A and B are shown apart, each in its own frame.
Chain A
Amino acid sequence: MGLLEIKGLKVAVQEKEILKGVDLKIAPGEMVALLGPNGHGKSTLLASIMGNPAFQVKEGSIDYNGENVLSLSVDKRSKIGMFLAMQNPIEIAGVNYSDFLKSAMNSHLEKKLSLFQFIRQIEGAYKEMGIPFEMAQRGLNEGFSGGEKKRNEILQMKLLKPSFAMLDEIDSGLDVDAIDVVAKEICKEREAGTSFLVISHYARLYDLIHPSRAVVMINGRIVTEGGPELIKRIDHEGYEWIHRELGISVEKEIDTPMSNTSIGVCATKEALDGTH
């Protein structure tokens, strides 16, 4: 039995179909890289697995450890071990970060943590993540830089210890040192048994976390998959070859209101060209 099994998943946002029949299986212990040009539905897939109410599941199924995820509330999905580090973590003014962490951690426990246990756990995690402990007294992501938000997403992952973590562009906005810290934490959690589904445009992160498999999403479907060599190929050649070899055209979604990126170019390559 797979850990996560998605069959024929169709998802719409405001009645526009984004995911057009996604099939994906992830076995326990796997680390799967999810690749694809911008605007093709990668974030939508992760958000739908976690139950973001902005996305409507129209057809298909998502099972986790054999349990139907679609019938579970969002907090239940977290409680059965799922975690999503979001591409753009939201700011919630006035909600104290440590109050939030306490609620989140306690929601996963039978017996609530004592104040002492709680402080000890979070203090250690802040230290390992290289986040100043004072940040625990700030509002939830309030005024955090892009990179600070991302580090804090990983901090939450460390504290909540999910069995399946989805990371949506966790490395964007992070400098090289921070990517190393984040990658180290990912590897540590993986050794402890966590499975992963990871979206990134940068080969650098993948080089550090060694995905066991890569899948490519184009036009709202998983169109091809392979081993780590697939990441290398996309890194070097972009997505054009998929069009040639698989006879799939990479649609230019010009009618898409929210997409502000050019589609059909190789995002990975572009990003690398930009940094090198």
Chain B
Amino acid sequence: MELIKNEHFLREYLSVDETEDIDLEVEENLQISLLIANFDIFSNRKITAKLKENSSLSIAVADFSRGKGNFTVEADILGKVASFEIRGSSLALKNDNKRFDIHLIHKFGNSKGLVSLHGIAGGKSQLTFDGVSSIEKGAKKSNTRQEAKIIVIDSSAFCRCSPSLEIDENDVIASHGAVEGRLNDMELFYLESRGIEEKEARRLIAMGYLSPIARYFPNQIQEKILTSAEGGI
């Protein structure tokens, strides 16, 4: 993990093709962003984070690797007005079996959480998004959102999305959405009706799923993300 930006209350870390676990304590008033890109091997990995008052942690995960394992994130919000975000895009192909497990606990109020995962499953792969965001009693005015979306591009691939919420406090905003699906016929029809061939239409839609994660990364990694997405599809 490389520290690529270090300003007053701002740290940015980049981890490319690494597999070791990461343990972060986000001190009061500090903002950390953690950029994780995998192009090589997918294996078990765990990210643990503790967020103190008025701190924030944003994680971006761009996963274009091959392999099997669980990518687990455990984030605890341990102070008020803290914010945790994770955005991820994953491409599963061949015999990959990838599972993303995100656990977020809001223990203090006025805190924010966002879990947003996008995936594409092709070949004989399995891709699972799982996770629980919980808001404990007393963590008033917290706001948490989970969204997960996977599309399957080959009939032999398998996907499952099961984000869930556990809320023990009334005065909060919480929402979640999960979509598992095939490439949408109406989306394909729209593109094809403009002359775009089916294969190219599928590529455009799949890139639309995977490429938005790139913007969180430095330039040379952005390029690698886009070429890996292109090459994979």
A-B contacts, 25 of them at CB < 8 A, read A51-B189, A52-B186, A54-B189, A73-B198, A74-B192, A75-B196, A75-B198, A75-B201, A78-B193, A79-B195, A86-B193, A89-B190, A90-B187, A92-B190, A92-B204, A94-B212, A95-B205, A95-B207, A95-B208, A99-B204, A103-B196, A103-B200, A104-B195, A107-B200, A108-B195
Among A51, A74, A96, A156, the most chain B Cβ lie within 10 Å of the Cβ of A74
Residues of B close to A50: CB separation below 8 A: 189, 193
- Report Cα–Cα, A85/B198, bound state, in Å: 19
Residues of A close to B193: CB separation below 8 A: 50-52, 74-75, 77-78, 83-84, 86
Asked if A107 contacts B208 (CB within 8 A), the reply is no
Residues of A close to B190: CB separation below 8 A: 86, 89-90, 92
A45 to chain B, nearest CB (A): 15
B191 within 8 A of A: yes
A271 within 8 A of B: no
Knowing A73-B198, A75-B196, A75-B197 are in contact, say whether A92-B191 is a contact too (CB < 8 A).
yes
A132 within 8 A of B: no
Residues of A close to B189: CB separation below 8 A: 50-54, 74
| 1/0 contact string of A11-35 vs chain B (CB within 8 Å) | 0000000000000000000000000
The residues in B between 190 and 233 inclusive whose CB is less than 8 angstroms from any CB of A are 190-198, 200-201, 204-205, 207-209, 211-212
Residues of A close to B211: CB separation below 8 A: 94
A107 to chain B, nearest CB (A): 4
A167 to chain B, nearest CB (A): 13
B7 within 8 A of A: no
By size class, the interface of chain A is 20 to 34
A139 within 8 A of B: yes
Give the number of residues in B that approach A within 8 Å (Cβ atoms): 22
B185 within 8 A of A: yes
B residues sitting closer than 8 Å to A (CB atoms) are: 185-187, 189-198, 200-201, 204-205, 207-209, 211-212
A93 within 8 A of B: yes
Asked if B186 contacts A104 (CB within 8 A), the reply is no
- Report Cα–Cα, A211/B151, bound state, in Å: 44
A100 within 8 A of B: yes
Residues of A close to B197: CB separation below 8 A: 75, 107
Asked if B195 contacts A94 (CB within 8 A), the reply is no
| 1/0 contact string of A142-157 vs chain B (CB within 8 Å) | 0000000000000010
A244 to chain B, nearest CB (A): 39
- Report Cα–Cα, A53/B211, bound state, in Å: 28
Asked if A73 contacts B205 (CB within 8 A), the reply is no
Residues of B close to A75: CB separation below 8 A: 192-193, 195-198, 201
Residues of A close to B195: CB separation below 8 A: 75, 78-79, 104, 107-108, 160
- Report Cα–Cα, A107/B200, bound state, in Å: 10
- Report Cα–Cα, A140/B208, bound state, in Å: 9
Asked if A78 contacts B208 (CB within 8 A), the reply is no
- Report Cα–Cα, A59/B158, bound state, in Å: 38
- Report Cα–Cα, A96/B191, bound state, in Å: 12
Residues of A close to B212: CB separation below 8 A: 94
